[in-house]
Amino acid sequence: MGYYQEIAEYYDLLMDGGYYDHRMLALAVQSAIGPRKRLLEVGVGTGRLIQELLKIDSTYDLTGIDFSQAMVKIAKQRLPGYVPIIECDVATIHLNQKFDAVVSSGGTWVIVQQDDELLLGTHLFNKENDIRGLQNIADHLDPGGLLVLSVHPPHEDRDIKLDNGIVYSQKISSVNDASDHFSLEKNYCFKKDDNILAEETLTLGFYRSTVFLKMLADIGFKPLGTVNTDKFYVFEK
Ligand SMILES: C[S@@+](CC[C@H](N)C(=O)[O-])C[C@H]1O[C@@H](n2cnc3c(N)ncnc32)[C@H](O)[C@@H]1O
Query: What is the DSSP pairing of strand 158-161 with strand 232-236?
Result: unpaired
Q: Atom 12 (ligand 1): residue with closest C-alpha?
A: 43
**Architecture category of domain 8-154+213-236 in CATH:** 3-Layer(aba) Sandwich (3.40)
- 19 ligand 1 Cβ < 6 A: no
pLDDT at 126 over 80: yes
Q: How many CA atoms lie within 13 A of 94 on its CB side?
A: 2
Ligand 1 binding pocket includes 89 (Cβ within 6 Å): yes
**Whose C-alpha lies nearest to ligand 1, atom 24?**
43
150 lines ligand 1 (CB under 6 A): no
28 and 22 Cβ atoms separated by less than 8 Å: no
Give residue 21's pLDDT.
Answer: 96
Q: Calculate the CA 190 to chain-centre distance.
A: 21
Which of 41, 44, 86, 203 has the most ligand 1 atoms within 8 A of CB, as the residue to mutate?
44
Residue whose CA lies nearest to ligand 1 atom number 5: 45
- Condensed to tens digits (0 to 9), the pLDDT of residues 145-166 reads 999 999 999 999 999 999 999 9
Measured CA to CA, the distance from residue 226 to residue 196 in angstroms comes to 39
Mean pLDDT over residues 36-55, rounded?
98
Query: How far does residue 66's CA lie from ligand 1's centre (Å)?
Result: 6
The residue whose CA has the least distance to atom 7 of ligand 1 is 45
The verdict on the CB of residue 106 being under 6 Å from ligand 1 is yes
pLDDT (tens digit, 9 = 90+) per residue, 48-99? Answer: 999 999 999 999 999 999 999 999 999 999 999 999 999 999 999 999 999 9
The residue extents of the domains of the chain are 8-154+213-236
Q: What pLDDT, in 10s, does the model give residues 196-234?
A: 999 999 999 999 999 999 999 999 999 999 989 999 999
The residue whose CB lies within 8 Å of the most ligand 1 atoms, and thus the one to mutate among 89, 123, 131, is: 123
Query: Which atom of ligand 1 is least distant from the CA of 41?
Result: 6
Amino acid at 20: Y
pTM beyond cutoff 0.85: yes
Pocket flag, ligand 1, residue 3 (CB < 6 Å): yes
Ligand 1 proximity of 43 Cβ (cutoff 6 Å): yes
Distance (Å) of CA 48 to CA 20, 51, 135: 10, 5, 26
For range 100-120, the mean pLDDT? 96
User: How sure is the predictor about 178, in pLDDT bands with cuts at 50, 70 and 90?
Assistant: low
Distance from the alpha carbon of residue 227 to the mean position of ligand 1, in angstroms: 23
Specify the amino acid at residue 198.
A
Ligand 1 mean position, distance from CA 42 (Å): 7
